Structure 1
């Protein structure tokens, strides 16, 4: 499942050419993290196409997540980083798109790295890859396996909750009582849906949109997948950059950052942000990523001018 956000100039151009073929506009792909879905990235995608109106941004629901988990043609296991990246590449082939920018958050960071890794020598076209608060190798999330909000522990607990439940507040209570933060609990329940189709949300029992057994496989693959070879021997045409959140629970440390910069790639510190970089400090993240879209568009100034001339 996917969604395409298009800037106003893209929509205008498509209206002008009518039935005549046109070259695909510059495209970015944004990939969510584990237990997420494409809607998590929607606000930031809208910000990108607002600031760079000639671009379009493709958001996807990874396998076992969001609407992809209930597709009649949903992929079967085994589920892993490589399989997830292959799904996105296949979608791009179907849509006849070759993105200029790939952006992946957390687990999605390894997915986008794996996408370009499948072209070991030379990319068909130059690509900028942004990895948001993730590393190529060891996963150090949530303060360790026994730390609060550790994704592996959270996935295990969510799998233990009998479904369906009467209402989403019941899940929030259970998650908090199990020792996870209220922020994580509120985020997790965005992945609940009514059991009966057509039922208004909140008026009946709910269940998960995602496939937790498949997600457990994906997370295990995330922990075991090593992509340092891509960092050390990138294919021709790849520009690789990492964003490190100032208050990351990911525990950046040791020689990893030095190894990334020593290989010629960038590590950019995002201030005033935890792991959820695209929601904690979206304008700061926008400023870091803006040069990849062909400029340094000042969205704050752009919005101010738009209001003044409205």
Structure 2
């Protein structure tokens, strides 16, 4: 489970759908995948939107940062899918450790019913849990900086995109901008969805630099 492999999966999907060029948006781990693909295949990415993550390696022992993601993954794994009868049941389990109802609702978008009516996770939760600390790292593809417009959206209550990360961003993304949603934590799309929508829309409508 590497960023290169996941970027290749996204590229394969674009090829399968006949999409020659796309606007790519990714959050957290997805943001790192989006950055990896934009750097490796810039001609395929028209514009790039990265939500609350930077092209850096994070300290997995930093309690204010990566542990937040660990907490969510542990909460998801604590749900016994064999006993859950509804998403309300699952929400009650998550509420033991995740107080934010918006974040819980976002997490539960990853829960689906299979053809037998049983709940399952849309994502490969065991592998993500096993590889989580590795995914805190970052190794930039051996490529030129991405030349398209790149928008980085940070959460004002999050530590993932801060001024100390700007040199790393500018080294790889020459035409970048950073916008901060001051009321949002790491899950910016769950915390401030309407504000994020307006920011993204403005970015997409702006002429290319």
1:110/1:222 contact within 8 Å kept: no
Matches of 1:228 and 1:245, distance apart in 2: 26
Q: TM-score, with normalisation over the residues of structure 1?
A: 0.53
Answer whether contact 1:155 1:216 (CA < 8 A) is retained.
Answer: yes
Matched, 1:143 2:61: no
User: How far did 1:97 drift?
Assistant: 1.0
Q: Does 1:94 align with 2:38?
A: no
The equivalent residue for 1:300 is none
Report what 2:81 is aligned to: 163
Partner residue of 2:31? 109
Displacement of 1:90: 0.6
Aligned in 2, Cα 1:272/1:215: closer, same or farther, shift over 3 Å? same
SS in 2 for 1:290: helix
Give the RMSD, CA atoms, in angstroms: 3.3
2:98 and 2:104 in contact (8 A); partners too: yes
Unaligned stretches of 5+ residues in structure 1 = 1-78, 200-204, 297-310
Distance 1:206 1:125 in 2: 36
Partner Cα distance (1:104, 1:246) in 2: 18
* Structure 2 contact 110–123 (Cα < 8 Å) conserved: yes
**Structure 1 residue runs of 4 or more that deviate by more than 6 Å after TM superposition:** none
CA contact (8 A) 2:27 2:51 kept: yes
- 1:277 is matched with 188
Structure 2 CA distance, aligned partners of 1:158 and 1:286? Answer: 27
Residue 123 of structure 2: aligned partner: 210
Q: Secondary structure, in 3 states, of the residue corresponding to 2:91?
A: helix
CA distance in 2, matches of 1:295, 1:253: 24
Asked whether the 8 Å contact 2:52–2:155 carries over to 1, the reply is yes
SS at structure 2 position matched to 1:136: coil
Q: CA deviation at 1:93?
A: 1.1
Change (3 A) 1:131 1:190: closer
Which of 147, 156, 167 aligns to 1:246? It is 156
**2:49 aligned with 1:127:** no
**Would the alpha carbon gap of residues 228 and 247 (structure 1) be closer, same or farther in structure 2, given more than 3 Å must change?**
farther
CA distance in 2, matches of 1:135, 1:111: 11
Q: How far, CA to CA, are the matches of 1:228 and 1:116 in structure 2?
A: 10
| Distance in 1 of aligned mates of 2:71 and 2:14 | 33
Residues 56 and 168 in structure 2, CA contact (< 8 A), matched pair in contact too = no
The reply to whether residue 173 of structure 1 matches residue 99 of structure 2 is no
Structure of greater Rg = 1
How much has 1:274 moved relative to structure 2? 3.2
Partner of 1:227: 140
Query: Which secondary structure does the structure 2 equivalent of 1:97 belong to?
Result: coil
Structure 2 vs 1, CA of residues 185 and 128 (structure 1 numbering), >3 Å: closer, same or farther? Answer: closer
Q: Which residue of 2 aligns with 1:54?
A: none
Distance 1:240 1:217, change over 3 A: farther
